[in-house]
Chain A
Amino acid sequence: MSALIDGRDSEELSDETTGELIGPGRGTDRSVPCDHCGLPAPAPADGQLAFCCNGCRGAYELIHHWGLGDYYALRDGEAAAIDERAGCFDDLDRPDLLGRSAPTPIESGDGQRWLKTRLSVSGIHCAACLWLLEKAPTRLEGWHRSAVQMHDRTIEIVFDPGRIRLSQIAQVLARLGYTVTPLMDSVDADGESDQESQRLLVDIAIAGFCAANAMWLAVALYAGDFTGIAAEHASVFRVAGVLLGCVAVIFPGRVFFRGAMASLKTRTPHMDLPVALGLSAGLLGSLYGLLDASREVYFDSIAALVFFLLVGRWLQMRQQRRAGDEVAGLIQMAPLAANRLDDRGRTERIRVSELRSGDQVVVAPGESVSVDGVVVAGQSLIDRSLLTGESQPVEVKVDDCVEAGTDNLQAPITVRATSVGEQTRFAALRRSVRDAASSRTPVVQLANRVGGGFVIAVLALAILTGVIWWWRDPSRVIDQVVALLIVACPCALALATPLAIGVAIGRLASQRVLVRSGECLERLVRPGTIFFDKTGTLTEGRMRVTAWDGDETLVAVAAAIESDVRHPIASAVVAYSEQQRRTHPELAVEDVQQIAGVGVVASVPGVGTVAVGNAGMLRGGLDPAWQASVQRILQDGASPVYLVVDEDVRAVLGVSDRVRRDAAATVAWFQQAGWRVGMLSGDHQSTVDRVAEAVGIPSAAALGQLLPDQKLDAIRGARADGAVVMVGDGMNDAAALAAADVGIALRGGVEASLAAAPVIIGDAKLSKVIELAKASRSTRVVILRNFAVSIAYNVLAITLAMTGWITPLIAAILMPISSLSVILLSLTKPEVTQSDSSAANSPEHLRPELAR
């Protein structure tokens, strides 16, 4: 009967869709990007599509089955990796558990009662996601409409409850890689930030109106200086202009005065102070100038200043909102419903927000724990990676503590809540992410400071010019003051930084490095400290079978036993069997028993009692032959796993989280460039030391067993010696990514860390961090060049204007030339050079054509 699991037979039984059968290839090191999500996937046979996991294959096939294959042409990045663990969505069918997302009935066109609901959805990246999500309803009976709002990552779904349930829709979306969850009852209602943005926009509209009208009035006055203007008309223009300037300063400009007052009260210098000074100087000067027709008025410049400062403030607010609120919205990983156990031993499904401390909660396997508490019944394995970054699940039994946000993997446990809701450690982590993200210094501040100082300087120089020319030639006072005011346009100065950064961001984006905040580039110029996370950053972040010594025909059997087990090693075995094309779906497996902390035992008819697990599975000693392979596996840094058939060891597997191929080279590059390179990990120190040795980080700088807040402390501690860069991917890195001066997230990590980090590496290649550092250096050069040019220009032009060499007309011609020269200088900057390593690693030529 062993022919059943003979290699040949199992090959014939293997899934047709996996395509041409290949032998148990040794070339498993070769990896190509997954055709769905772009993560590394085992190379398929020629002409076949590559997938990193079955989830991605499922999503790809579903999308093509729907006839929506255009998705792959539309998208600009890769799709979200499919979370194969996407669980059960039954809670979505219970309106009482949905809170703010409870469906509301609406009338359809033909008098039927449909339901409408708004859910938050994670996994949206680009236009193609939107397209797919909004096209999906046409392919699913009973789902009528969906509308996506990208800014807050929500989707509005209209469906016919008679024909489809919300949970079914959620299931389909999960297969595509989008997870929907009910909206959270956040502490600050989401309408608040919308309202704040609306208020600011109204202010901008008023300031823009004033600035634009003041501008044409000023043009009329300047023109009048040349061609002559009736004194009566000139004074009408001046009065109208000053009125507009007053409106701009008093209504939209009031925020600056409020800020300046606060800064005076607290005695901390704030960007609003020079701005408010400049504004009041301009306003008072204009009002005074109004008294005498020969004096100058500055109403157009103050109105424009208010307008541009407000626009800058709005852009900054938008960016912060994205960074802060979106993070908080995305970390919707805590479940919203839980099973509460009442006094009579019955369980009741209720909203997590209704839980009180002291309640007993039953957590089913595959569910997340919803409270911090103590286990009172049952024992199981808990995946705490979200909170602590530990790569291995932890065993818990009665009296052990569990935290909200961790996943129960194995068996149901009952937990007595000690703290709930906002008191949990998970909520604290979420808060620290939000705070760290929104306290980042905004790039606009510099522009404001320069703007405010510039206004004061120009006004002072204008007064000085007026005084000088009053002594020398009173008839030319106005000409020279006007020439100065025109020529001293801060455009070039203001453009110097943003333009250079914008160009660099564009060039990096074409290399799949997405930089969301320009100041990161400025901070990467000088060497500082760079920290790498371990799991998923320096390593690939998922367990793989790296060695299989012994009976290869048992791969399918091992996979069949492990297929329903939720454990990283089980997933590694299943993935290995798929990769080797040794799957055997029809294989009957009976009496699957999980032995916590050891492994799995099952009986397979025709094979015998099969056990897969660690040394705890072994009865008695191990053959010397097997000893040798265990030694070899341990030397490779992998953990040995034994496959035992009827108490007879038949194979030894090596399972490990491999170090990325470009990790050592990246670390070496940064060390050579003078950076201090360190590692921050939540994993055990022994694992951390092994990886540190492999990539060349000194063991003193490789810190293990860190909690998220300890990571934060490490980053804050390193602040003293220059910029701190954090490269990571895990959820437990999110706060650290946001707190570091530059947070770099590798794509393929958890969504929350992507939102917290200002830099995202789209194809999850570690070597792109080097590209980023190089780009920041060349950007620095361009910025300095731009500053030099624009300052030289301004100094020269202002001197000429003050000494009477240029007339207002020539000034008006010279003004745009400085801006143009800065633009040209920025565009002709040297290319961000592509490093040899990334060119060689580029898998483009390996990528099979999407022949459909």
Chain B
Amino acid sequence: MNVLYIALPIAIAMGATALFACIRCIRSGQFDDLETPAVRMLLDDEDSVRRD
């Protein structure tokens, strides 16, 4: 059962990696505007022939 001594740090380290990735995303401003992306994904990209 001593695998626990390896598995536990690995699990924590994996979590910590994700945590650092998350913190980097926050610092780069990805979470500053939480409204527009949620709305924008509803809009189609049908773009389109110019009508003049």
Residues of A within 8 A of B (CB): 66-67, 74, 126-127, 130-131, 134, 138-139, 148-152, 194, 197-198, 201-202, 205-206, 209, 212-213, 230, 233, 236-237, 240
* Cβ contacts under 8 Å, A237 to chain B: 8
A198 and B42 alpha carbons, distance in the complex (Å): 26
Interchain nearest-CB distance for A238 vs B (Å): 12
Given the contacts A127-B39, A150-B33, A201-B26, A66 and B51 also touching, CB distance less than 8 Å: yes
A205 close to B36 (CB less than 8 A) = no
A446 to B48, CA, bound (A): 51
- A127-B42, A205-B26 given; A148·B15 CB < 8 A: no
Q: CA of A201 to CA of B34 in the docked complex: distance in angstroms?
A: 12
Across the interface, do B48 and A138 meet the contact criterion of CB distance under 8 Å? yes
Binding site secondary structure of chain A: helix
A206 and B19 in contact, given A67-B51, A198-B26, A233-B4 (Cβ under 8 angstroms): yes
Minimum CB–CB distance for B7 against chain A, Å? 11
Q: B-side interface residues toward A, CB under 8 Å? A: 1, 4-5, 8, 11-12, 15-16, 18-19, 22-23, 26-27, 29, 31-36, 39-40, 42-43, 47-48, 50-51
Chain A residues with CB under 8 A of B23: 202, 205-206
- For residue A350, give the distance in angstroms from its CB to the closest CB of chain B: 33
Q: Say yes or no: B36 contacts A149, CB within 8 Å.
A: yes
Q: Check A197 against B12 for contact (C-beta < 8 Å).
A: no
Name the CB-closest residue of A to B51: A67
Residues of chain A lying within 8 A (CB to CB) of residue B31: 197-198, 201
Interface CB pairs A-B, < 8 A, 27? A126-B39, A127-B39, A130-B36, A130-B39, A130-B43, A134-B40, A148-B36, A149-B36, A150-B33, A150-B39, A151-B34, A198-B26, A198-B27, A201-B26, A202-B27, A205-B19, A205-B23, A206-B23, A209-B15, A213-B11, A213-B12, A213-B15, A233-B4, A236-B4, A236-B5, A240-B8, A240-B12
Q: How far is the CB of A146 from chain B (nearest CB, A)?
A: 12
Residues of A within 8 A of B16 (CB): 209
Q: A410 vs B49: C-alpha distance in the bound complex, in angstroms?
A: 46
Asked if B36 and A194 sit within 8 Å, CB to CB, the answer is no
Smallest distance from the beta carbon of A310 to chain B beta carbons, Å?
13
Residue of B nearest to A131 (CB): B43
- Chain A, Cβ-Cβ closest to B42: A127
Chain A: minimal CB distance from B3 (Å) = 11
Q: What 4 A-B pairs are tightest by C-beta distance, nearest first?
A: A150-B35, A127-B39, A209-B19, A201-B26
CB distance from B33 to the nearest CB of A (A): 5
- Judge whether B19 and A151 touch: CB under 8 Å: no
Q: Is the CB–CB distance between A130 and B40 below 8 Å?
A: yes
18 extra interchain contacts, Cβ-Cβ under 8 A, other than A150-B35, A202-B23? Answer: A67-B51, A74-B43, A126-B39, A127-B42, A127-B43, A134-B43, A138-B50, A139-B51, A149-B36, A150-B33, A150-B39, A151-B35, A201-B26, A202-B27, A206-B23, A209-B18, A209-B19, A233-B1
Expressed in whole angstroms, the minimum distance between the Cβ of B45 and any Cβ of chain A is 11
Query: Within the assembled complex, what's the spacing in Å between the Cα atoms of A194 and B16?
Result: 24
Q: Which residues of A contact B29 (CB under 8 A)?
A: 194, 198
Q: How far is the CB of A311 from chain B (nearest CB, A)?
A: 13
Given A209-B16, A213-B15, decide whether A202 and B26 contact each other with a Cβ distance below 8 A.
yes
A151 CA to B33 CA, complexed, in Å: 6
Closest A residue, CB atoms, query B28:
A198
Q: Give Cα distance in the complex from A134 to B18, angstroms.
A: 34
Closest chain B residue to A65, Cβ basis? B51
Complex CA gap A131/B36 in Å reads 10
Distance from A375 Cβ to chain B, minimum over Cβ atoms (Å): 44
Asked if A151 meets B36 with Cβ closer than 8 Å, knowing A198-B26, A230-B1, A236-B4, the reply is yes
- Decide yes or no: A151 and B32 within 8 Å by CB, A202-B27, A213-B12, A233-B1 being known contacts: yes
Instruction: Flag if A194 contacts B51 (CB, 8 Å).
Output: no
